[in-house]
Each structure stands twice: as structure tokens, then as C-alpha cells.
Chains A and B, each alone.
Chain A
Amino acid sequence: MALTEKTRAEMREIMARYPQARSGLLPMLHLVQSEEGYVTPEGIEMCAAELGITAAEVTGVVTFYTMYKRRAMGKHHVGVCTNSLCAIMGGDAIFAQLKDHLGVGNDQTTPDGQITLEHIECQAACDFAPVLTIDWEFFDNQTPGSAIDLMNDLIANREVKSTRGPVITSWRDNERLFAGFADGKVNEGPAAGEASLLGLKLAKERGDSIPANPGADA
């Protein structure tokens, strides 16, 4: 894959969002990943040229951040949270069974190029534990069985929908979103998941008076 002048134009669009162009580097690297499937040497060169810095300076940034990948990724990125809480609630078992089912180790891609599996850190969804992500979208309250079903659906290109988000397309599509380009999927999924509504539902059931607030109908 070669980067095009369209990519260069979009990089400049990103740079223009900031008072200083270099602030655009992180989203520019996300854009490179969406175009190339990982951070390629060519992508690094283009970022460096646009920002007037060296390729080494760009590379120094790339290696710092976990979301930037230095080799070709599968169509989908599957992350299993194995930070303490998710691990204990079953995340360790889910990760072990997915490795076994897919025949890959951590940070490896299935031979058909469909899935790159990685264990990931806390995703800020602890009240939905155990959690996994597909292309970084939330899949809440997982079990080994539900996770394996999801993998089979991904491999067979069947529709897979996030529990609190959109229908899955690809890791690269979401990398474009991280670069700051909206994808029109904002209305998919609920406003809030069940666990997020725990207190609100209790307050309504118990008849707690909801305090006046700027959202309150005067």
C-alpha cells in the first residue's frame, strides 16, 4: 500500500486543528495505521516531512504508545482485559481459551489474517467485567463461550455488534476515527449500559427525589 496525496492533505487538516502543528502527530499516526495497517516506514517519513522533524523523532513517539503497531495487523484487533479485576472475574480464563481456540499467542495474528489477539490493560469498564474489545469497541460481561462465539463470527465475517456501540467493521476503520474523522456511527448503541444506570434506576425505584440540576425541568 502506498500513501497518497489524499493522506498528505488529511495530515495537513489534522495539523491545522492545533495552535502548533506537532500536536497533530498522534492523530497523524492513527491515520497512517488506518491507511497502511500499521505504522510503516513510509508513514513515519510522511509525518516527519509534514512536521519538519526527523524520522527518528517520529519513531521515538511511535514506540512509546501501545496502540501503535510496528507490523501488519489482522483485520480485527481483539483485546482481552487481564488487569487485576477483569483477570480475577474471568479475564485470565477467557484469554487462555482464546489463545487456544485461535492457535496464537499474545500479540500474534491468525494465519488467515482475521484476528490479532492481545491482552490489554484496564478499559474503564470494570462494572462490566470481564471485558474484551474488538477493534477497541466494548464487549461486556464475557465468558469463554461468548468470546469464542464472537471469534467464530469474526472469522466467518458474520455481523458482530458491540454491547455498547456499533456493528464491527475493522481495526483500520476505527484508526481513522482516532485520527479525528467522524464515521457517522454515533447513534448506534445505547446511551448507557445497564451497569451505568444502577444508581439512577435505584433512585427511581426508591422514589429518591432527584435534585434540581441544570438538566432538570424547571
Chain B
Amino acid sequence: MATITPVLTAYWDEPDAFTYAGYTRHNGYQASRKALTTMQPEDVIQTVKDSGLRGRGGAGFPTGMKWGFIPQGDNKPHYFVVNADESEPGTCKDIPLMMANPHVLVEGVIIGAYAIRSNHAFIYIRGEVPHVLRRVQAAVAEAYANGELGKNIHGSGYDLELTVHAGAGAYICGEETALLDSLEGYRGQPRLRPPFPAVAGLYACPTVVNNVESVASVPSIIANGIEWFGKFGTEKSKGFTLYSLSGHVKNPGQIEAPLGITLRELLDLAGGMREGSTLKFWTPGGSSTPILTADHLDVPLDYESVAEAGSMLGTKALQIFDQTTSVVRCVLRWTEFYKHESCGKCTPCREGTWWLQQIMERIEQGKGTEEDIEKLLDLCDNIMGRSFCALGDGATSPITSAIEYFRDEFIAGTHTPAWELFPYEASALFAGANA
């Protein structure tokens, strides 16, 4: 039977989990004290490298290696930035994490910033989540008040300022260079790379940008060591992570488990599919990761295995859809999202998503033409790998994967509306939902 490993989530059920008192009751801020007072910055980087921790924001890049890219002795300010712009459709892990346990993020920031010799860190939170913002703002204020942040932290001689920053509603700001432009007060558009943020990031200075969950995973590694961390997960995908189940499952929610658990095991834990329903398709890690089907129930959900299955682990946002769901409707709505969120900087994405949406719309309406499927694939081919950033690539994933597995539904879209093939009311959680 699959194990559940609540580490980040261990105390979310305590009413004051989000307070300094609640966090320190369970030895919170011991790891940052240990790092600042007993370890050299390079030792911290080496520990995180050796732990095998990989980025939890989607790409899976080794966190310690990212930190190691920061040049040292360059006499420039260094910046540590947390990407808390969680907006990838289906992804819903960082928001509850920051709401229930913002201090573990703050502690991770302290350790990470110390490791890269940064004296000013930022948490960039998407704007639309006021209560999360409150919790993080308050955690930072409490950390200052208790000497965890500020000047000469616990007599270590290390100073750190931490600024909480709210965005204003733009998915693209989750792309790390767009985030930096946005944090500098500009339109959030991605930057040409190289130079990478490690060389020229915020204010053209060396900068690390890490996902919330990646940063929050660091205190436990520092406190318990790399052997402990390596007990969870697989050879190449070490540790535990948050899997977010949503959609047509009996009990949607967050399950923190070792990397490599399968959807079959997670579905069992979530009580299975909703009454009388069978799995049709799912995303392993948000809408930008190619969809998978019931054939992939036993794929270990780690970085390598999901890639081998033709998708990406992404954010581990498992959106589960049953047999009532029109894949065309679902993909159209994602396509509308990418069109809306395309920043407009590069032509393939700006124009391509616009055309994709029109074609997907007429297929939903049963007014597609015989050429439309090939046209979609051709457009995707011209966007994928030719866009400025991964948003364009992401826009093509749901379309190409849906055509791969459900081509018949796209063909049916040349003569029958999706809502006749799959009455929309049947997919909803309540009766009378024929929108």
C-alpha cells in the first residue's frame, strides 16, 4: 500500500498552524538557525545539491545546482526570489501551503538567501489570493519581530530583508524572467536567455528564482539530512511532494507522498472516481502537460517516468476527468486561457493561440472542417519550440495530446456539437447544469 508522507502538510490541521507560535511549537526555524550559525553558505548549497531536491514548480531542475550557478565574490547584490505566482490551470498546492504554513516558506527563504549570499529576498505572490497574502505578510512580520529576519540574525552576522509583493493577474508572470520584469514594475514579458537570471536577473544582478514548494522543502533537508530525504522517492526523483487531485474523484484534495507514487494508488487514497464513473483522461501536472489516459494509471509519478510516458510531471496537478467529459470542450477552454494569457511578445504564440481558439471553437460547435485537425497540428508544430517561452509550448500540449488519444472526438466535431456528444450537465457536480 502506498505511503503518505506528511512533512510540509504535517500540522495543517492545527488551528494556529500559520502562526509563529504554531510553527515554532514543532521546532520551526531550527533549520535556519542551524544553517546560519553552523554552516558555510557553500555547505548549504552542497547539502541541497546532494539531497537531489528538484524544482517543484514544473521543470524539475535541481534546486541546489540553480543556487550553485550564482557567481561568488562578484561584488554585486544577489537576490533570492520566490515564485508564488501559482496560476497553471489545475495547480493548487502552493496556495494552500502558504495559507496553512507560510513560516516554512519564510524559513526556506532564509536558508536559500544565506546560501547564495543574498541580503534581500522577495516573495512574488499572484494578486488574486488576498487571504494567502495576509498569511504570508503576517508570517514575515512575525519572523522580523522574533529576530528570524533583519539585521545580524541570531548573532550570525547575516542580514536579510524579505519583501512580500503582490502581482496583478497575469499567468505569464509565473515564467521566471517575466516574473522579474513584473517585479521591476514593467509588463510581465519573458526575457531573452542567455543571460540567465543567475547572471543577470533582478536589476541585472545574480538572482535565484525558486518555486514555493521547492523552497519550503529545504528546511526539512537541512534539519534531517540528505539520507533522510533520500529515503523517500526514487533514485532520480528524490523526496516527497504535494499531489493535487481535482475533478471527478470522490475526495479531491492534497496528498503529500513520495515521488513515484502512481495515479492508481492516489485514486485509491482519494476514494476512487465519483459514483458510477470511469477515468477518461487526466493531466499529470497542469494544463501544459500532455494529457494521459486510463492506460497510464500505473506510470510512476516521478520526473523520468512521466516524461517516458510522453508527458511531464509538471506541478503534479492531477485533473481527473471521467467518461462524461468532452475532451474538445476541455481543451477549448484551456486554449482560450492560453490565448488570453499570451503576453503578445512573440508572433507564434500571440497569433497562433488566436487561430487555435477559433478552430477549437468550431469543432466544439460541430462546425469543424475536414482540414481542421491537420490545421491544428500544423499550427501547433509552428508554435511548439518556436515561441519565446514555454507558454506557447504549453498551449499546444493539450491539443496535440488530445488529438493523439481522442482523434474521433475531433472528427465528430465536423458534424455534431460537443454538448450533444457529451451533455454538459452530466459532467457537473449538480443537476440542471446545461449551460
Contact B13 A85 (CB under 8 A): no
4 interchain residue pairs of minimum CB distance: A198-B253, A215-B26, A199-B255, A65-B168
Residues of B within 8 A of A79 (CB): 128
Contact A191 B138 (CB under 8 A): no
Write the nearest CB–CB distance from A2 to chain B, whole angstroms.
23
Complex partner residue of A130 from B186, B188, B248, B429, CB under 8 angstroms: B429
Tally of A-B residue pairs with Cβ under 8 A?
323
Contact A138 B133 (CB under 8 A): no
Residues of B within 8 A of A199 (CB): 4, 6, 9, 243, 253-257, 269
Interface centre among A20, A193, A199 (most CB of B within 10 A): A199
Complex partner residue of A196 from B12, B120, B257, B341, CB under 8 angstroms: B12
- Stretch among A4-12, A105-113, A152-160, A202-210 lining the B interface: A202-210
Complex partner residue of A211 from B101, B232, B337, CB under 8 angstroms: B232
Residues of A within 8 A of B433 (CB): 90, 92-93, 144
20 contacts between A and B (CB under 8 A): A26-B182, A27-B165, A65-B170, A85-B89, A85-B247, A121-B340, A123-B129, A138-B131, A143-B430, A177-B134, A178-B166, A186-B18, A196-B9, A198-B251, A198-B253, A203-B4, A211-B240, A214-B26, A214-B104, A215-B23
Contact A165 B137 (CB under 8 A): no
Interface residues of chain B, those whose CB is within 8 Å of chain A, are 3-7, 9-18, 22-23, 26-28, 30-31, 77, 86-92, 94-96, 99-101, 104, 107, 120, 126-131, 133-135, 137-138, 141, 163-171, 182-188, 203, 219-220, 222-224, 228, 231-232, 240, 243-248, 251-257, 269-270, 287, 317, 319, 321, 325, 329-331, 333-334, 337, 340-341, 343, 424-425, 427-430, 432-435
Contact B9 A214 (CB under 8 A): no
Residues of B within 8 A of A22 (CB): 184-186
Nearest residue (CB) in B for A84 is B333
Residues of A within 8 A of B343 (CB): 64
Write the nearest CB–CB distance from B118 to chain A, whole angstroms.
12
Interface residues of chain A, those whose CB is within 8 Å of chain B, are 17-20, 22-27, 29-30, 51, 60-61, 64-68, 79, 82-85, 87-90, 92-93, 95-96, 120-130, 133, 135-138, 143-144, 162, 164-166, 174, 177-180, 182-183, 185-186, 188-203, 206, 208, 210-218
Complex partner residue of B13 from A93, A127, A191, CB under 8 angstroms: A191
CA distance A59 to B114 in the complex (A): 37
Nearest residue (CB) in B for A193 is B96
Contact A210 B77 (CB under 8 A): no
Residues of A within 8 A of B18 (CB): 186, 191
CA distance A205 to B277 in the complex (A): 26
Contact A165 B130 (CB under 8 A): yes
Contact A213 B10 (CB under 8 A): yes
CA distance A144 to B334 in the complex (A): 23
Residues of A within 8 A of B6 (CB): 199-200, 203, 210-211
Nearest residue (CB) in A for B18 is A191
Write the nearest CB–CB distance from A26 to chain B, whole angstroms.
5
Nearest residue (CB) in B for A173 is B130
Residues of A within 8 A of B429 (CB): 89-90, 129-130, 143
CA distance A157 to B106 in the complex (A): 38
